[in-house]
Amino acid sequence: MVTEDQKFYDQAGVDLSGISRALLINSQNKTIEQGGSTITQQLARNVYLSHDRTYNRKLSELIYAYQIERKKSKPEIMELYLNAIYFSNGAYGIEAASQYYFSKPTGELTKAELAFLAAIPNNPEYYNPLEHFDATKKRQERLLEQMVANGALEQAEYEKLIKSTIKLDLSTPVDLYPDYVTYVHQELKKLVASSEGLDKSLQSTDVAIRKNAEAELDKKVKELLNSGVTIHTALDTKLQTQSKTAVQSKIGVNDIEGALVVIQHHTHELVSLIGGKDYKKNSFNRAYQSYRQPGSAIKPLLDYAPYLEETDAGINQLVSGASYCSNSYCPKNYSGDSYGMVTLRTAFAQSYNTPAIRLFEKTGVETSFK
């Protein structure tokens, strides 16, 4: 609080002097560089809003902060703030940061370690202790020095704390859903490549151009992730677990692999994705990297559904399962046999090829593909 919001317990979530100062500086520089945000405003931004530097977002931030102050006590706001703030390297909240950087709960941290963590959120990328440890340590010492100046810390204890050795003890993060997360990261890279105009360079036949584009993309994605961006997905964790169990139990043979993708029909959301029987993060993901013909899986979409919809036919209607030949195109049933007249139910259940072709012809190429 000595740096983020010294008047936290005295003001109603909005620091008018700070906002006025920020507006003056921004108008002089003709940019939005400063925001004058209180802890309550930062909480509103982290939980409810984006980090866009616009005056509209700033106004929304003030309104949210006012409502939060009306409904929550100061200790509750502080608790929410500490649980929502970003500490770099994917750690949101003080407890997550404590577990990640020191492999222990916050209750077991020393004052020096707590102050070290407090140094990170001001600029999570610059004060990332894994890459800029010295900068983080210097800010920790500066925070402790400001506490002395504000009467919150004795000089003797300050000198003791700044000499305390800070030794990181990183915990190994556990990826509960690596199949899905890998795909999400791949989609994120595509979005960043598109927004940064790197698409053409990534597809260039010139190896040097392509490598430079890949390096630039990796840098941009890393910066974005380190900034504390939140990625929202439609993952259904219960369904993901069920899907994983289903794949592993149904294709248990050692040399057979498989994948599974579930899309919520009404929302078009990707709710589950399994990249292999025992998928490891960043390995070959069969759900989206293994391109292959759809085979008979296309029949319900391309043949049966359009035909039933267009003709109002019943599933017991008859269709020919005999041999088929049109010009030089002569597809056969998988068994090579001719079945005569069969019901749509039987043709579908047995996945016969020649009845599906006949239904496709009756519906028409354009209608079926639409």
- Looking up residue 119, the CATH number of its domain turns out to be 1.10.3810.10
Among candidate residues 112, 117, 94, the one with its CA nearest the CA of residue 153: 112
Percent of the chain topping pLDDT 90:
62
pLDDT single digits (tens) 193-210? 999 999 999 999 999 999
Q: Given this model, what pLDDT does residue 30 score?
A: 47
Q: Tell me what the mean pLDDT of segment 252-268 comes to.
A: 89
Structural domain count, the chain: 3
Read off the CATH number of the domain in which 340 is found: 3.40.710.10
Q: Is residue 142 located within the same domain as residue 216? A: no
Q: Is residue 35 located within the same domain as residue 154? A: yes
Q: Is residue 25 located within the same domain as residue 146? A: yes
Q: Given this model, what pLDDT does residue 60 score?
A: 81
Residue 153 has pLDDT above 60, yes or no: yes
156 falls within a domain: yes
Q: Which domain holds residue 361?
A: 295-369
Q: Given this model, what pLDDT does residue 40 score?
A: 83
Percent of the chain topping pLDDT 70:
88
Q: Given this model, what pLDDT does residue 68 score?
A: 86
Q: Which residues are catalytic?
A: 4, 296
Residue 33 has pLDDT above 50, yes or no: no
Q: How confident is the model at residue 26 (pLDDT cuts 50, 70, 90)?
A: very low
Q: Is residue 103 located within the same domain as residue 194? A: no
102 falls within a domain: yes
pTM value is: 0.61
Q: Is residue 156 located within the same domain as residue 183? A: no
Q: Tell me what the mean pLDDT of segment 239-260 comes to.
A: 90
Q: Tell me what the mean pLDDT of segment 231-235 comes to.
A: 93
339 falls within a domain: yes
Q: Given this model, what pLDDT does residue 59 score?
A: 81
Write down the mean pLDDT value for the chain. 87
127 falls within a domain: yes
Q: Is residue 143 located within the same domain as residue 25? A: yes
Q: How far apart are CA 200 and CA 150, in angstroms?
A: 55
256 falls within a domain: no
